[in-house]
Amino acid sequence: FDYLVRMNSAQISRRRAVTRAGLLFGAALAVDQFAPSAPAAEPAPVSKTARPFIFSLNMATIQGQKLGIEKEIQIAGAAGYDAIEPWISSIDEYVKAGGKTTDLKKQIADLGLTVESAIGFSEWLAEDDTRRARGMEQAKRDMELVAQIGGKRMAAPPAGATDVVGMNPLKAAERYRALLETGDQIGVIPELELWSFSKSLGHLSECVEVAVQCSHPRACILNDIFHLYKSGSDYRGLAVVNGRAAAVMHMNDYPAAPPREKIDDSYRVYPGDGVGPLTDILRLLRETGGQRVLSLEVFNRDYWKQDALEVAKTGLAKMKRVAEISEQ
């Protein structure tokens, strides 16, 4: 995390940008410890908005079953999730087959779900001007689809520039700001996604730098347990990222073998089934404030061979268990 530590007093504008981007520590919530005692009764359910974490299903987890977006939504509701994180490609397929986004929005709402994020791969960061312009048009269309089903955010991975080495962070920040401004017009927030295999935005510190430098009030980062590990990013760096600027965390875990340099997405396992410091990470998320969306994203080929509802239920139970342990 030395990349960010070497800031000196001459970098005042950077610190101001940090404030505007919402990347400072959040305030803790006080708890009233003096409520009068009452007879024992069944505890009232805690509302979704009052909880530190809400639980989401990223549809990659059941992607291999090839169910289609409607069935995926049904499974998320039946399994007991609070929210979903659909893939734009699945929404596209649904619309091309004659489906209406208004019907999807109603289905999601009727099941008590929200769309906290969505996954797209527009090449908004491409170096080539023509390619990047096409990527921005795709991003605009993707965000419009997300808005039509009631979505709040959309992942913005460094697609189109994955193999670019040493990209100037100011240039990346300028492009990310343009994407954010497009999102402002639509009502969807693009989240700068950490991709460990990106040669310029593959480390937490690089993503934070771009989010800071873009100087936009809704700049934010989409983190991922696996990518933090694969990139060699120290998870304790999350302590400097306020919850408002990193609302969504992709939840998964990873085994001790193969080693970091050889592991890939297919080795992801359920939270708590690997060796990742998940409880420590969730404690840090609590400390930095804001409500967090924990979105189960597991590309495990063995899970894709199993019943999708059972996979969804198992993943939710394991996420909740990790969250409970993090409270201790």
What's the confidence (pLDDT) of residue 46? Answer: 61
* Burial track 285-316 (b if 16+ CB lie within 10 A, e otherwise): bbebbbebbbbbbbbbeebbeeebbebbbbbb
Tens of pLDDT along 24-67?
Answer: 333 333 333 334 444 445 555 666 767 899 999 999 999 999 99
Phi, psi of 115 (to 5 degrees): -105, 95
What's the confidence (pLDDT) of residue 44? Answer: 55
Which one-letter amino acid corresponds to residue 42? E
What's the confidence (pLDDT) of residue 161? Answer: 94
Tens of pLDDT along 62-109?
Answer: 999 999 999 999 999 999 999 999 999 999 999 999 999 999 999 999
Is the confidence at residue 15, as pLDDT, over 50? Answer: no
What's the confidence (pLDDT) of residue 260? Answer: 96
Is the confidence at residue 10, as pLDDT, over 90? Answer: no
What's the confidence (pLDDT) of residue 45? Answer: 60
Tens of pLDDT along 267-289?
Answer: 999 999 999 999 999 999 999 99
Is the confidence at residue 315, as pLDDT, over 60? Answer: yes
Query: Got the DSSP string for 31-50?
Result: ----PPP----PPPPPPGGG
Tens of pLDDT along 196-245?
Answer: 999 999 999 999 999 999 999 999 999 999 999 999 999 999 999 999 99
Burial class (CB in 10 A: 0-12, 13-18, 19+), 322: buried
Tens of pLDDT along 144-193?
Answer: 999 999 999 999 999 999 999 999 999 999 999 999 999 999 999 999 99
H or E element in which residue 55 lies: strand 53-58
Kindly list the strands in the beta sheet with 189-193, ordered across the sheet, starting from the edge strand earlier in the chain.
114-115, 83-85, 53-58, 292-296, 248-251, 221-224, 189-193, 153-156
What is the model's pTM?
0.86
